[in-house]
Amino acid sequence: MKNLSNKVALITGASRGIGAKIASQMAAAGAKVIVNYSGSKSDAEKVAKKIKTNGGDAIAIQADVSNAQDVKNLFDTAMAHYGKVDVLVNNAGIMINTLIKDTTDEDFAKQMDVNVKGVFNTLREAAIKLAENGSVINFSTSVNRIMLPTYGPYVATKAAVEQLTRVFAKEVGSRGINVNSISPGPTNTALFTKGKPEAVINRLASLSAFNRIGEPEDIAKIVTFLASDEAKWISAQNLGANGAMA
């Protein structure tokens, strides 16, 4: 169903993983797509090319979301190309697993810069530049609902994202913009699986009611729905997408 026809969607961190799947899913639903990337130009261009091969419309635009000027240029370039931006998906994020006592200042700052400052930068631009009746979907995490050692700084960043989501929803609701966050559980991406033994992944899969971890497509379908007009009455909410893990 082409429920995103005539919409333009900007997805941060869309060169691979969940972001790439969201880009493809939204294009299939009729949206024109901006595939944002920070450093993976070739991957981002492959995502955009695949979308166009399948009959969609997409461009890849570089921007480091932690850099305010980059984010301003990202929105301006997208609007110059497509005329508007209707949907913002804040998917870009990093995760560094360490015990709190072992976390360096650098690792803490990296996560804050991308996961929190990056969302803040895009929301600040969206407050002015997102089209009327648009939609914003931010990424949190289901790890916020449980207490897992080595995730402390990461979940702190995502808790901040959830609060930014709630406040921003109130600030832009008068323009018909709905704002939500989504909290995936363990999902089969390089971000999640890198460095994890199979036994650890299997243990986390066992926490799901379906005895598996999520797939990027599981998350992309929900994000696409939240970007549609059918979801306009949902705002300032955080949706768990974790197969009943938490």
Residues recognised as catalytic: 154
Alpha carbon distances (Å) from 118 to 65, 76, 157: 5, 16, 11
Question: How far is residue 72's CA from residue 112's CA, in Å, rounded to a whole number?
Answer: 19
Q: With the C-alpha atoms ordered 113, 119, 120, 122, is the resulting torsion angle positive or negative? A: positive
Q: Are 121 and 98 in contact (CB under 8 A)?
A: no
Structural element, H or E, at residue 90:
strand 87-90
CB 223 within 8 A of CB 89: yes
HEC profile of 166-188: HHHHHHHHHHCCEEEEEEECCEC
Backbone angles phi, psi at 78, to 5 degrees: -60, -45
Cβ–Cβ contacts within 10 Å for residue 25, how many?
24
